[in-house]
Amino acid sequence: MEGTENTAGSSTFGGNNVGNDTSNALYVHRSDNPGMALVLVQFDGTGYRSWRRGVLRALSVKNKLGFIDGSCEKPHADSPTSRQWQRSTICVEYVNDSVDLWKKLEDRYDQTNGAKLYQIQKEINELTQGTLDITIYYTRMKKLWEELNTLNVRNQCTCICNCGVRNGMHKAEQDRRLIQFLMGMNEVYTVVRGIILMMNPLPSMAQAFSLLIQEEK
């Protein structure tokens, strides 16, 4: 192996001591090795989103997200950090680099499942408070919203917007969810529901939830 091992378990390549900097994406801890699994469950072609979240968390903890999102660029072959990069990055047969690998996984498996989308939206539309207290009702509705967001994550805009349209669309979606939530409330909350709906602009979900909790108490 080229380079020398120091007492911290990191390597010094080409006179560059980047291996000692734990905040650097090229830092390799002594416990890291090619055979170590990032997540406990091996991906078998199903449950991609759950597996994906686990991988992203693991890479975030190790400060290695830059290898798959492209923010940590591969150094030139003559760079003193080139060998450290090779030691730190993910090496996979038939794939040029980890960014390419991640993109292939996203393109192949991160597709919105129409049946799942339909099921979640159906559950949201049919959910009512019934015998639930407000906190449990809100928690169940919020969980379904989050699942819906996860399915639609590829369609969410990430560009920088200065015209305010994006914020307006976000507010409209939050208002829609608030009304949907209020529609499922029991009739005993008719008065406070009317007060919330008369507010202009409509309050956030958190503000409305606070008002409903006060009414419940």
Highest-scoring range by mean pLDDT, 3-12, 23-32, 95-104, 155-164: 95-104
What is the pLDDT, as a whole number, of residue 14? 38
| Shared domain check, 182 and 121 | yes
| Average pLDDT over every residue of 48-72 | 78
Residue 7 has pLDDT above 90, yes or no: no
- The answer as to whether 211 is a domain residue is yes
CA 190-195-196 angle, to 5 degrees, is 100
> What DSSP line would sit under 59-100, residue for residue?
HHHTT-THHHHS-SPPPPTTSTTHHHHHHHS---TT-S-HHH
Q: In total, how many domains does the chain have?
A: 2
- The answer as to whether 27 is a domain residue is yes
Per-residue model confidence as pLDDT tens digits over 81-102: 777 766 666 554 445 677 888 8
Residue 197 has pLDDT above 60, yes or no: yes
Q: How many Å apart are CA 179 and CA 76, to the nearest integer?
A: 55
**Residues of the domain holding 191:** 114-216
| Shared domain check, 140 and 76 | no
- The answer as to whether 1 is a domain residue is no
| Shared domain check, 208 and 118 | yes
- The answer as to whether 2 is a domain residue is no
Per-residue model confidence as pLDDT tens digits over 147-187: 888 777 655 555 666 766 778 888 899 999 999 999 999 99
| Shared domain check, 122 and 95 | no
Highest-scoring range by mean pLDDT, 4-18, 34-48, 194-208: 194-208
| Shared domain check, 90 and 58 | yes
| Shared domain check, 105 and 58 | yes
| pTM attached to this predicted model | 0.51
The domain boundary residue, chosen from 62, 87, 109 = 109
Residue 15 has pLDDT above 60, yes or no: no
Q: How many Å apart are CA 13 and CA 52, to the nearest integer?
A: 32
